[in-house]
């Protein structure tokens, strides 16, 4: 019954690439409050940092049953966050052609720190979906901020690696000639280059499949470089089609993946059974590692073992671990220093 439905509040922060964080953390936010979200939720709140106020109006036109409200400026961050159950952070600058995700560290690290300080203060029990790159470092940053504030619960801090799974499902389905919705590829490790480790030996599909060495190589490389593929192709667009200035990394597939992951978190919060997704969490064998997790009322309630790996994946895992260790340390040092 409706009385049993818990209230879920969601917030998302988008920081436009052309703005300085110091001036714009939490600057302009659209807040939607009302009925909506995953079935069973009585209401949700959705907030966005946005460039033009038109974005607030834009969102308000969606027939979701949510009421849209705008917030402006860092002073309103507290009101925006208070009472949230789920906070989604895609804030920060996107990369441009020729850049790695790590090149974004300098700017995005500070943005993530500021937002997480706000979360620790205003909604310390919220589940946090962290999308801002470099995820391999920003999640450790968030963890350190929460530790400092005494609010850290590793089950509630989730790095979003869903886009790697989305890409893996698409590319594997292409090779197999299947509908991507029938394919489920676990992708573990992290969210950058060789740390993105698709476990192609564990693809869930009917009938069960296997890949040739050449297919393994092609798919792993394509999945690991999916983000760069978008960044580099947007450069082509700029040259040949005069596409909008500032085109950079994935936005649409990223938004799709973010929604997919947030929806899974909401289903977990609601108490649905068997909600399992991959996420970069601090409750695995490495300090942080993307694994399959079961999402529940308190966040990532169970982390699944990697399962049997083939030789190709074992080699990939060692490479991923080495690179991850450096990125994690970089995030931790940023706060500790
Ligand atoms: C992606 O995977 O598309 C995102 O992490 C953005 C990027 O910079 O690649």
pLDDT averaged over 10-residue windows placed end to end, the chain, 337 residues: 33 34 28 37 47 75 76 80 89 91 96 96 96 98 98 98 98 97 97 98 93 97 96 71 60 94 95 98 88 98 96 98 97 95
Distance 4 CA to ligand 1 centre (A): 39
3-state secondary structure of 279: strand
Q: So what's the pLDDT on residue 25?
A: 27
Check: CB of residue 297 under 8 Å from CB of residue 286: no
pLDDT digits (tens, 9 = 90+) for 150-165: 999 999 999 999 999 9
Which residue's CA is the nearest one to ligand 1's atom 2? 227
CA nearest neighbour of 202 among 295, 317, 323: 317
Mean pLDDT of the chain: 83
State phi, psi for 66 to the nearest 5 degrees.
Answer: -85, 150
Distance 103 CA to ligand 1 centre (A): 12
Return the best residue to mutate from 93, 97, 104, 133 for the ligand 1 pocket (most ligand atoms within 8 A of CB): 133
**Four-CA torsion 249, 145, 52, 98, nearest 10 degrees:** -20
167 CB under 6 A from ligand 1? no
Measured in residues, the chain has a length of 337
The neighbouring-strand residues paired with 11 are 87
What is the model's pTM? 0.86
**CA 164/CA 192 separation, integer angstroms:** 9
Distance 228 CA to ligand 1 centre (A): 7
Q: So what's the pLDDT on residue 74?
A: 81
Residue entry with tokens 């040739």: 212
Residue entry with tokens 């990939």: 316
Tokens of residue 320, six digits? 């991923």
**CA 327/CA 301 separation, integer angstroms:** 25
Distance 10 CA to ligand 1 centre (A): 23
Q: How many CB atoms lie within 10 A of CB 325?
A: 14
Q: Is 61 a catalytic residue?
A: no
DSSP state of 154: G
284 CB under 6 A from ligand 1? no
Angle at 258 between CA 256 and CA 264, to 5 degrees: 105
Which residue's CA is the nearest one to ligand 1's atom 5? 227
Check: CB of residue 37 under 8 Å from CB of residue 45: no
Check: CB of residue 84 under 8 Å from CB of residue 75: no
Check: CB of residue 63 under 8 Å from CB of residue 77: no
**CA 84/CA 307 separation, integer angstroms:** 35
**CA 291/CA 279 separation, integer angstroms:** 6
Q: So what's the pLDDT on residue 29?
A: 32
Which ligand 1 atom is the nearest neighbour of the CA of 164? 2
**CA 200/CA 212 separation, integer angstroms:** 11
Which residue's CA is the nearest one to ligand 1's atom 1? 227
- What interface predicted TM-score (ipTM) does this complex get? 0.98
Q: What is the DSSP secondary-structure string of 30-47?
A: EEEEES-SSTT-S-EEEE
End-to-end CA distance of the chain: 50
Tokens of residue 171, six digits? 């590319």
State phi, psi for 236 to the nearest 5 degrees.
Answer: -60, -45
Which ligand 1 atom is the nearest neighbour of the CA of 133? 5
Q: So what's the pLDDT on residue 104?
A: 97
């Amino acid at each position: 019954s409706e009385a049993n439905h818990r209230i879920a509040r969601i917030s998302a922060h988008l920081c436009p690439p052309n703005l300085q964080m110091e001036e714009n953390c939490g600057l302009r936010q659209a807040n939607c409050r009302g009925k909506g979200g995953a079935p069973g939720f009585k209401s949700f709140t959705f907030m966005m940092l946005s460039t033009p106020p038109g974005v607030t109006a834009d969102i308000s036109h969606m027939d979701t049953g949510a009421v849209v409200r705008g917030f402006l400026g860092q002073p309103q961050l507290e009101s925006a966050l208070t009472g949230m159950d789920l906070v989604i952070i895609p804030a920060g600058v996107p990369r441009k052609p020729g850049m790695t995700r790590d090149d974004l560290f300098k700017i995005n690290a500070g943005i993530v720190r500021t937002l997480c300080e706000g979360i620790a203060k205003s909604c310390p029990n919220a589940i946090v979906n962290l999308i801002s790159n470099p995820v391999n470092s920003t999640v450790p940053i968030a963890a350190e901020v929460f530790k400092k504030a005494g609010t850290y619960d590793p089950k509630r801090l989730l790095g979003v690696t869903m886009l790697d799974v989305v890409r893996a499902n698409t590319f594997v389905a292409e090779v197999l000639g299947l509908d991507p919705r029938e394919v489920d590829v676990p992708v573990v490790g992290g969210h950058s280059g060789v740390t993105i480790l698709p476990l192609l030996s564990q693809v869930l599909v009917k009938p069960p499949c296997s890949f040739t060495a050449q297919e393994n190589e092609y798919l792993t490389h394509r999945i690991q470089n999916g983000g760069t593929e978008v960044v580099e192709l947007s450069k082509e667009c700029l040259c040949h089609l005069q596409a909008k200035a500032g085109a950079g990394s994935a936005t649409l597939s990223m938004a799709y993946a973010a929604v997919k992951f947030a929806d899974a978190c909401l289903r977990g919060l609601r108490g649905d059974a068997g909600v399992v997704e991959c996420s970069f969490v601090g409750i695995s064998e490495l300090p942080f590692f993307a694994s399959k997790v079961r999402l529940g009322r308190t966040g990532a309630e169970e982390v699944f073992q990697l399962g049997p790996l083939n030789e190709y994946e074992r080699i990939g895992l060692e490479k991923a671990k080495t690179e991850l260790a450096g990125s994690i340390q970089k995030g931790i040092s940023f706060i500790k220093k």
